[in-house]
Structure 1
Amino acid sequence: MATGSKDMVVSSYCILFLVMFAAPGAGTGCPANCNGHGPPIRFPFRLKNSHPDCGYPGFDLSCTSTNETVLELPASVKLFVSIIDYKSQMLLAYDPNGCLPKHLPHLNLSASRFQLGYRYLELEDFTVFSCSRTESRMWSEYDMSCVDNDSDNHVIALNSHRSIRNSPSLLSCSKLYNVSSVPYHMLLPNGNLSFSWSTPNCRKCEAEGKLCKLKQISSEPEIECSDISKQHRGASMRKKIIGIVLPLSSFLLGLVIALYYVHRSDEAEKENQKRIKKFLEDYKALKPTRYTYADIKRITNQFKDLLGQGAYGTVYKGKLSNEILVAVKVLNNSIGNGEEFMNEVGTMGRIHHVNVVRLVGFCADGFRRALVYEYLPKNSLQKFISSADNKNSFLGWKKLEDIALGIAKGMEYLHQGCDQRILHFDIKPHNILLDDNLNPKISDFGMAKLCSKDQSAVSMTAARGTKGYIAPEVFSRNFGNVSHKSDVYSFGVLVLEMVGGRKNVEVTAENACQIYFPEWIYNLLERGEDLRIYIEEEEDANIAKKLAIVGLWCIQWHPIQRPSMKVVVHMLEEGEILSIPPNPFASTSTKRTNAMPGRLPHQELGVISELE
């Protein structure tokens, strides 16, 4: 072959290789990822030491020797990046050593482009202690022992609002530091952190399928959307020229190389899909999944295992996997206009708390509607409210106290911990579910309402809730405005039922001579007598008395006299003796003729009108 011909073939091969190996942006030296691994890297991100035009200031990433993608935050916090979602402008990162809590005292996002990406999850304040192993087992809410594995002590974290008074063992721990406004995910060693960014805002470009890039002529970093087709027009022209110049052998070689890279790209895409799947699993607590009706039938094994049935639907046991069990409530189509379904999804999709049942997903497939919750094997609290004289079914006073405190913390979160205040309006034993350790979780938000935190009253068209647990003001404006204090009343009735081990007596013509149960408890406390229920030790008597007093404070029939749930939590956590509240039954005799506590005979009830 002549020298000129050889040179032409060599040149043709060089052109072909340049075309095949060039990725979008390769002409400006913009790497697409860490050597074929990890999430795709494109504007506003860039790899360190690549061309400045590749990314936006403050969005530098780097690669490890093992091709992991690294995000460096202020104060030398380095996390591995698993997912970058350019459309929603969020990324997911984790600690490579499986000890995310060690970054707690150092994480400072004020000097970075990123914010914590938790829209509906309440950020909390924590206090970090160093305790002995015995004390950490007793008090730890979050075990951070990975921070100091070599020490004989354990590092633990507690919510900062938690009182440590009257807790000698915790007082002997050493306080290390406080941290403010962080998600609970940071306290989980193998947890993931979600970060978001608002500047630059490339959402418009992403939605239009265009490239987001820096403006070439601008003194300040500004962005613009660029048509992808224009970016590749030059590459298309080069391919046409090569197709004319190259002989058949060059074309075949190019085809082989192209097929190889298609294969590589397909493998990378499969890997991305796995990461996305893991990302969704990690965040299913924050954003419920939408299922089809076919999914619901598969999850419940064709509705094989019935758990229960109520007015609004039927509940079945189901499986998302061999490890994850769920409870699926299939709603009745004939009841309501879908308000309960929208309330559940709209409300529970916003919240995540250890004492609130987690909504895993929902189905809205045509006229079929279903709700998918975490499965709680111990069923409802109602199952355990039985005669306190029955040792076999009685849970014990310490456990009852823990359950009451857990419910109160969940309600406090609903009232104060979310962006908007959530009023439940149906707090009762049936709607308190228990996990394997008998930890309570509030469920069934079908009657819930949202309102702003500074709103002192809520408008209503009709009474909401279950008879016996509804606050007086929900029936009549004569008692006050409907507010978060209406939930407090329902909680008080529930606690008194726990104390008495019996259901609140519904006054009818047949039992009108029976004394109203809360009033019976009040009379015993006022006379200084012991509650006539099963008591084993003096500590049990103190717990029973404390629960009774808390319940009576909560059922004061004027809302202004009831404590907030924050105060209720404080009352339940403190060891001090509580004062007995004013007598809510002073205006009535012991032989009652009305079911509503404290209601005067023959008093007319005005219906509260809803202004919404």
Structure 2
Amino acid sequence: MTNSFRVKLGHGGFGQVFKGKLSDGRLVAVKVLNSSKANGQEFINEVASIRRTSHVNIVTLLGFCFDYKRRALVYEYMPNGSLEKFIRSRVHLGTSEFIGVKKLYEIALGIAYGLDYLHRGCNTRILHLDIKPHNILLDGDFGTKIADFGLAKLYSRKESIVSMMEARGTIGYIAPEVYNKNFGGVSHKSDVYSYGMLLLEISVEGRKNVDAGVGSGQTSEIYFPDWIYNRLHKKDDFLLDGIVTPEENDYARKMTIVGLWCIQTSPNQRPSIDKVIEMLEGSMEALEIPPKPFFSSPLRSPATISSTLESMPEIT
């Protein structure tokens, strides 16, 4: 199927992804999971979660392989890869893969619709718990697909708070309550927080690592939400390099304001994802600037975690 794993599409904490082709000619993405994951829990999570889904903004699982320690998941192929390369490319790669403010807004809206389906549209509700640019895939028309359900948590409609024995997610996108119970219980609002951090990255199009007013040798990421909030209050038209019209500026400012609402420290202060959709689709004039989040997200790392965050500082 993959021609001996000839074309590698990417890799993550749980395995590598290769391009393949089915016998009927359809292109696929084959995710081969690390054999070192002895209990296969991430494999079980992904199959169990995604087989319950059917939505335009959720990636389609076509099949899987389970042969002792060898495990693979076969997904529909997404020609444009992950969102990550489009919101970081100008900073890290020196390229000009800028797809436009309106398209970024449409992608953000597609992610929100996918999350709304997971939270409210499935018979068994699903918390994704790892929303980040790497896990948002784009088809040939830049249609949005949420992918990678390896850390997902299933829960019934009767439950409002999800019981978790260990923290899950990627540092920098994890809601405070996921690793510190003092902030509240884990719920659908935890996905909203991760979505908010992603939305802020989209709205400033990869600028979070530069020009945040920090000294040489320091990382600017811990200042990221503060920097955005301060610039937003000044009403600076800074959010995207490609802005040329008032309409585009409204898209960027709207995504920023909604993103700041989503990363409020208390889960009770965050909107539900259906409210997020309402805010994104509504008028700019109807949006209120949220209170300044007093807790900035921890430093980002490419590592995905599914165990207790022993190295994380205690938040007081």
Q: Which residue in the other structure is 2:304 paired with?
A: none
* Residue 473, structure 1, aligned to residue 177, structure 2: yes
Superposed counterparts of 1:573-592, under 5 Å? 573-577=281-285, 578-585=287-294
Residues 303 and 565 (structure 1), Cα distance of their counterparts in 2 relative to 1, 3 Å cut: same
Matched to 2:64, the amino acid is: F
Which residue is equivalent to 1:496?
Answer: 200
**Would the alpha carbon gap of residues 452 and 508 (structure 1) be closer, same or farther in structure 2, given more than 3 Å must change?**
farther
Paired letter, 2:298: A
Secondary structure of residue in 1 paired with 2:169: coil
Structure 2: gaps (5+ residues): 300-311
Q: Distance in 2 between matches of 1:310 and 1:395?
A: 25
Larger RCO: Structure 1 or Structure 2 (Cα < 8 Å, ≥ 6 residues apart)?
2
Report how far residue 486 of structure 1 moved: 0.4
Structure 1 distance, partners of 2:113, 2:293, is 25
1-structure distance, mates of 2:200, 2:34: 33
Structure 2: which amino acid aligns with 1:369? R
**Structure 2 counterpart of 1:24:** none
- Contact conserved, 2:57 with 2:113, CA < 8 A, in 1? yes
Cα distance in 1 for partners of 2:177, 2:167 equals: 9
Counting only pairs closer than 5 Å after superposition, residues 293-308 of structure 1 correspond to structure 2 as: 299-308=1-10
Residue of structure 2 in register with 1:595 after alignment: 298
Measure the CA separation in 2 of the matches of 1:604 and 1:306: 39
> 3-state DSSP class of the match of 1:328?
strand
Alignment match, 1:352: 54
Deviation at 1:387, TM superposition (A): 6.6
Higher Cα Rg, which structure: 1
Aligned to 2:156: 452
Q: Establish whether residue 517 from structure 1 lines up as the match of residue 221 from structure 2.
A: no
User: 1:321 maps to which residue?
Assistant: 23
Note if contact 2:209-2:220 (Cα within 8 Å) is conserved in structure 1: no
Alpha-carbon distance between aligned partners in 2 of 1:539 and 1:503, rounded to the nearest angstrom:
21
Alignment of 1:8-27 (within 5 A): none
- Rounded Cα–Cα distance in structure 2 between residues aligned with 1:513 and 1:310: 24
Inter-partner Cα distance in structure 2 for 1:421 and 1:349: 13
What displacement does 1:333 show? 1.2
- Cα 1:372–1:512 shift into 2, 3 Å: closer
- Map of 1:47-196 to 2, 5 A cutoff? none
What secondary structure does 2:247 align onto? helix
- For the 8 Å contact 1:318–1:328, the answer to whether it is kept is yes
- The alignment partner of 1:371 has SS state of strand
SS in 2 for 1:385: helix
2: distance between equivalents of 1:581 and 1:546? 12
Going from structure 1 to structure 2, the CA distance change for 1:514 and 1:562 (only over 3 Å counts) comes to closer
State the shift of 1:310 in Å: 2.8
Mapped to 2, the partners of 1:385 and 1:513 lie a distance apart of 17
Distance in 1, Cα, partners of 2:95 & 2:5: 36
| Cα offset, 1:604, TM superposition | 3.5
**Structure 2: distance between partners of 1:391 and 1:605:** 38
Partner residue, 2:305: none
**TM-score, structure 2 normalization:** 0.86
Match of 1:533? Answer: 240
| Residue 421 of structure 1 pairs with residue 159 of structure 2 | no
Kindly provide the CA deviation profile for residues 371-411 of structure 1, in whole angstroms up to 9, marking residues without a partner as x: 00001111100010137798932111110110000000000
Q: Give 1:331 deviation, angstroms.
A: 1.2
Distance in 1 between residues matched to 2:133 and 2:244, nearest whole Å: 24
Deviation at 1:583, TM superposition (A): 1.4
- Structure 2 equivalent of residue 406 of structure 1: 110
Aligned to 1:363: 65
Structure 1 residues 387, 306: closer, same or farther in 2, change over 3 A? closer
Contact kept, 8 Å, 1:426 with 1:447, in 2: the verdict is yes
CA RMSD across the alignment: 2.8
Cα distance in 2, alignment partners of residues 475 and 343 from structure 1? 20
One-letter code aligned to 1:604 = E
Cα 1:327–1:481, aligned 2, differ >3 Å: closer, same or farther?
same
SS of 2:8's equivalent in the other structure is: strand
AA partner of residue 583 (structure 1): K
Q: Deviations over 1:326-371 (max 9, x none)?
A: 1111111112411000001111111011000000001112332110
Report Cα offsets for 1:231-268 as digits up to 9, x if no partner. Answer: xxxxxxxxxxxxxxxxxxxxxxxxxxxxxxxxxxxxxx
Alignment correspondent of 2:309: none
State the alpha-carbon separation in 2 of the partners of residues 565 and 470 from structure 1.
16
Q: Distance in 2 between matches of 1:388 and 1:304?
A: 28
Number of aligned residue pairs: 298
User: Does structure 1 retain, via aligned residues, the 8 Å contact 2:130–2:151?
Assistant: yes
Residues of 1 paired with 2:276 and 2:9: CA distance? Answer: 33
| Secondary structure class of the residue paired with 1:493 | helix
Conserved 8 A contact 2:90-2:96: no
Q: Quick one: structure 1 residues 561 and 338, their matched pair in 2 at CA, closer, same or farther if it must change by over 3 Å?
A: same
Aligned counterpart, 1:383: 85
Partner of 1:604: 314
Taking the aligned partners of 1:338 and 1:529, their CA distance within structure 2 comes to 49
* Paired residue type of 1:530: D
Answer whether contact 1:385 1:501 (CA < 8 A) is retained: yes
Q: Which runs of 5+ in 1 are unaligned?
A: 1-298, 597-601, 607-612
- Superposed, 1:235-274 pairs within 5 Å as none
